[in-house]
Amino acid sequence: MSHPLTVAAIGFWHVHAGDYVRNVQEHPDTTLVAVWDDDEQRGRTAADQYGVEFVADLDDLLARPGLDAVTVTTATDQHTDVISRAIRAGKHVFTEKILAPTVEESEELVDASRRAGVALVVSLPRLSDDYTVAIERVLDEGSLGELTYSRVRLAHDGWVGGWLPERFGDPVAAIGGALTDLGCHPAYLTRLFHRAEPLSLSASYGHVTGRAVEDNAVVTAEFPDGRLGVFEASVVTTPGAFTIELRGTAATLTFGFGGDRLLAKGGAFGDEWQELPLPERRPGAFAQWVQHIHDGTTADDNLRHAVELTRIVVAANESAATGRVVQLTGEPVTRA
């Protein structure tokens, strides 16, 4: 294994491809050495931008003994094939969500990475953010009481502002629309806060811009003991929004309503809204990936989140398409 680790960027289909390249360039233990993309012009443009080699043949690139790892930001429908090839070549993989289009494929990728002894990590960045750390502490302390209702919303103006690439509207390449991409973050936060898998999901999708995939999405999840979690996504919202609302039997938490502040009210917090301090964020998913590579360990929590996220997205898409409630089974969620 190289020191620093040598990393190739695989695919520049996704808008976060450049973010992960910068992660590679800025981390002291990783260095970017090459780029591949199935669109040669897009790949060569990226390689020139970041000052590295463009390699036209993916298998040739993966066969290089001096290459340690790859970041994967291809179209979502290519994840299973590309990640599988990287794992078979013995390369560590950091990938954009969702891990794969189906639960079965996601589980197969996780199993393959474990058999091959390579570190597989999915980018689920909001698990590491300061507000998430603070909320988990409140839940641990029990000062919210029993969480009975949650609502998490993430939205931006990608399609009304004209900056979200049109390829995100391709139902084959993208697998889905606003919920499948942007709504992943509210989805995994919802199951984390409820600390259980949902029993059922009911989804409604809107098509304000008339594209083949949804640009508005609302999902209601039923959790054990009658608890409800609502998570939402939109790419036609100006200005953008990220909000969290947690209602418990003793108190309430809110985040993001009019500013990046975590507010609490009720029970031990008193009858007036008070602002709670935000602690340091956890190391991000990329840093965790590098550490797992060096330690020779498996990102068990991350991979469990990733597989269950796929299950939620698949179920939501099915519910929206059929107009029916999709039944799931609920189990306790391991903390991040």
What residue ranges do the domains of the chain occupy?
A: 5-118, 126-284+313-327
Token pair for residue 62? 């993966």
Closest CA to 231 of 290, 298, 184: 184
- Give the C-alpha separation, 25 to 37, whole Å: 19
- Give the C-alpha separation, 79 to 174, whole Å: 11
Mean pLDDT of 271-290: 97
- Tell the CATH topology of 126-284+313-327: Dihydrodipicolinate Reductase; domain 2 (3.30.360)
Residue 10: per-residue pLDDT: 98
- Give the C-alpha separation, 132 to 128, whole Å: 7
For the stretch 98-112, pLDDT in tens is 999 999 999 999 999
- Give the C-alpha separation, 159 to 280, whole Å: 33
Q: Does domain 5-118 have CATH number 3.30.70.260?
A: no
Phi, psi of 6, rounded to the nearest 5 degrees: -90, 130
Strand partners, 244: 152, 255
For the stretch 65-89, pLDDT in tens is 999 999 999 999 999 999 999 999 9
Mean pLDDT of 251-276: 96
Helix (H, G, I), strand (E, B) or coil at 242: strand
Ramachandran region, residue 24 (left: φ > 0; alpha: ψ -120 to 50; beta: rest): alpha
218 CB contacts (<8 Å, ≥6 apart)? Answer: 203, 204, 230, 232
For the stretch 184-223, pLDDT in tens is 999 999 999 999 999 999 999 999 999 999 999 999 999 9
CATH topology agreement for domains 5-118 and 126-284+313-327: no
